[in-house]
């Protein structure tokens, strides 16, 4: 599957930061993590540091899947508003999912500091603006529900938004908790730290077949080698959805573009992530090298949907929308790119076991804000391995 167009910004900005050997021998280990994107980097870090003999396998270069295309806005607010999620799964479970998102941002902040990762991580606020007067009323309900449950939010009128951010828009919710990161660099640095501490990583390793046995899992590679492990953990991103008979998510194509450096609204926008309630939506954030990154314009995924023509059209649309919000902005596009992601009905991920795959655990960080789910996977995987329960495992299970 083509996960992204070739010229994703983070890959161009950073280049291939580190290459690993492909697997050329038989290995016995406790856990094989399939996938070296941000999810695989986080999960393998947790397992290796918890004392499991862990290896990481990827068929591509490290972190070269969706993690190299992501716009990496770290938000506790997922694709489904809290009010809608409460209708779908109940008010308290929905609040728990949202609060888990806040904890994820705190965990990432601590991890970046403790592991000394250079990855442009910045704590930011998150501003969601209504795209119309009607949407404003719905957003106000969302605000009230969040206030009821103690979320750190403020209602900003359009006049206040204009004063603080020089942005023309309807009213919105300002949340205290948010962040942005270079997820590609983060994944590379974290994997490298653990590799130096003895965790084997193999890139360009193609898996031909997997035997899910009663006592173990045997992974066969195309070069004729085997990995024999107690558990396999799939952190293999959106492509993993093709493993299942049931359709668990819809694929969406999404588009992004980034300005040249030294954008003129940098000072007003540097501490905030902005997104709107429109469908398709638009979102924006600054980068640590003083650009404005804009994304959105999602459409149903179709093969061949990442052509230059479509990308350019979508980038032009995104820039036009930005100019509606900031009429004096000097947005000159430097790069545009596109990628796919999987959307579930409730906006929640799939984390847990699946009845068709013995001794396997899945951490599928689906959705437009998947990264906070990857972080939640760290604690949840340890609990699954220890046979412990967690309410989130109920909300994220496959048969929900
Ligand atoms: C344009 C775009 C913008 C986005 N913006 C945001 C955002 O602002 N905030 C946010 O939180 N999320 C965002 N997302 C989603 C986010 O990118 C993903 O949630 C995240 O990158 C998923 O990471 P991952 O490690 O699970 O998957 P990936 O990064 O895709 O990693 C999976 C890895 O598994 C490997 N793999 C797959 N199958 C196999 C196999 N059979 N054998 C071996 N290896 C295999 C792949 O090669 C890949 O390297 C965005 C996504 C896109 C495309």
292 is a domain residue: yes
Q: Are residues 354 and 228 in the same domain?
A: yes
180-185-187 Cα angle (round to 5): 95
pLDDT at 312: 85
Q: Are 219 and 280 contained in the same domain?
A: no
Question: What is the position in ligand 1's atom list of the atom closest to the CA of 374?
Answer: 26
Residues 264 and 311 both lie in one domain: yes
Residues 62 and 190 in one domain: yes
Q: Tell the burial category of 348 from Cβ atoms under 10 Å away from its Cβ (0-12, 13-18, 19+).
A: buried
Nearest C-alpha neighbor of 172 from the set 180, 185, 162, 182: 162
Is 329 in the same domain as 363?
A: no
Q: Is 86 part of any domain?
A: no
Q: Using CA atoms, how far apart are residues 400 and 22, in angstroms rounded to an integer? A: 37
CA 285 from chain centre, in angstroms, equals 15
Q: Is the CB of 81 under 6 A from ligand 1?
A: no
CATH code, 45: 3.50.50.60
- Domain span at residue 266 reads 250-343
pLDDT of residue 4: 65
Task: Confirm whether 53 is domain-assigned.
Answer: yes
Please check whether residue 76 is in contact with residue 105, taking contact to mean a CB–CB distance below 8 angstroms.
yes
Q: Are residues 241 and 254 in the same domain?
A: no
CA 348 – CA 77 distance, rounded (Å): 11
- Do residues 236 and 268 share a domain? no
Q: Are residues 355 and 323 in the same domain?
A: no
User: Measured between alpha carbons, how far is 325 from 49 in angstroms, rounded to an integer?
Assistant: 46
Classify residue 290 as left (phi > 0), alpha (psi -120 to 50) or beta.
left
Q: Are 127 and 174 in contact (CB under 8 A)?
A: yes
291 in any annotated domain: yes
How many domains is the chain partitioned into structurally? 2
Work out the average pLDDT over 153-178.
97
Residue to probe by mutation, ligand 1, list 66, 220, 238, most atoms within 8 Å of CB:
66
Give the bridge partners for 280, in sequence order: none
Report field, pTM of the whole predicted structure over 0.85: yes
**Unique residue bearing structure tokens 């969302």:** 142
Do 229 and 262 lie in a common domain?
no
Q: Is 395 a residue whose pLDDT tops 80?
A: yes
Q: What would the mean pLDDT of 236-255 be, rounded to a whole number?
A: 94
pLDDT band at 3 (very low <50, low <70, confident <90, very high): low
CB-count burial class (<10 Å; 0-12, 13-18, 19+) for 229? buried
Residues 217 and 262 occupy one common structural domain: no
Q: Are residues 225 and 360 in the same domain?
A: yes
Q: Do 264 and 337 reside in the same domain of the chain?
A: yes
Residue 170 lies in a domain: no
**335: domain CATH number?**
3.30.9
User: Ligand 1 in contact with 39 (CB < 6 A)?
Assistant: yes
Measured at the CA of 282, the angle between CA 279 and CA 287, to 5 degrees, comes to 160
Is the predicted pLDDT of residue 341 greater than 90, yes or no? no
Q: Has residue 2 got a pLDDT over 70? A: no
Ligand 1, atom 11, residue with closest C-alpha: 369
What pLDDT shows up at residue 83? 98
pLDDT tens-digit series, residues 42-86: 999 999 999 999 999 999 999 999 999 999 999 999 989 999 999
Contact present, 229 and 217 (Cβ < 8 Å): yes
Would you say residue 101 lies in a domain? no
Determine, yes or no, domain membership for 306.
yes
């Amino acid at each position: 599957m083509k996960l992204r167009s070739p010229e994703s910004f983070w890959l161009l900005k950073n280049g291939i930061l580190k290459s690993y050997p492909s697997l050329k021998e038989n290995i016995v280990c406790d856990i094989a993590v399939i996938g070296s994107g941000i999810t695989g980097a986080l999960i393998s870090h947790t397992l290796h540091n918890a004392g499991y003999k862990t290896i990481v396998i990827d068929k591509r270069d490290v972190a070269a899947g969706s993690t190299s295309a992501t716009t990496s806005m770290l938000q506790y607010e997922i694709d489904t508003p809290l009010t809608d999620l409460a209708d779908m799964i109940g008010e308290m479970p929905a609040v728990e999912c949202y609060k888990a998102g806040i904890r994820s941002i705190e965990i990432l902040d601590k991890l970046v500091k403790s592991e000394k990762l250079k990855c442009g991580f910045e704590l930011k606020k998150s501003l969601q603006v209504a795209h119309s007067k009607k949407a404003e009323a719905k957003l106000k309900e969302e605000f009230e529900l969040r206030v009821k449950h103690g979320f750190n939010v403020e209602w900003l009128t359009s006049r206040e938004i204009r004063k603080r951010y020089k942005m023309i828009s309807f009213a919105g919710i300002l949340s205290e908790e948010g962040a942005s990161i270079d997820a590609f660099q983060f994944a590379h640095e974290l994997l490298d730290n653990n590799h130096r501490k003895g965790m084997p990583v193999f890139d360009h390793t193609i898996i031909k077949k997997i035997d899910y046995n009663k006592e173990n899992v045997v992974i066969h590679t195309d070069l004729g080698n085997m990995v024999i492990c107690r558990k396999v953990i799939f952190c293999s991103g959106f492509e993993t959805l093709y493993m299942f008979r049931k359709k668990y998510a819809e694929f969406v194509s999404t588009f992004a573009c980034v300005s040249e450096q030294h954008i003129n609204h940098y000072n007003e926008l540097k501490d905030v992530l902005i997104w709107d309630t429109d469908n398709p939506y638009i979102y924006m954030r600054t980068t640590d090298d003083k650009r404005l990154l804009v994304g959105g314009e999602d459409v149903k995924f179709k093969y061949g949907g990442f052509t230059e023509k479509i990308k350019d059209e979508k980038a032009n649309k995104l820039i036009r929308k930005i100019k509606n919000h900031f009429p004096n902005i000097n947005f000159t596009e430097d790069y545009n790119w596109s990628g796919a992601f999987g959307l579930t009905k409730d906006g929640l991920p799939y984390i847990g076991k699946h009845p068709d795959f013995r001794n396997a655990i899945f951490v599928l960080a689906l959705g437009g804000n998947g990264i906070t789910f990857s972080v939640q996977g760290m604690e949840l995987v340890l609990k699954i391995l220890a046979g412990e329960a967690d309410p989130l495992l109920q909300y994220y299970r496959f048969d929900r």
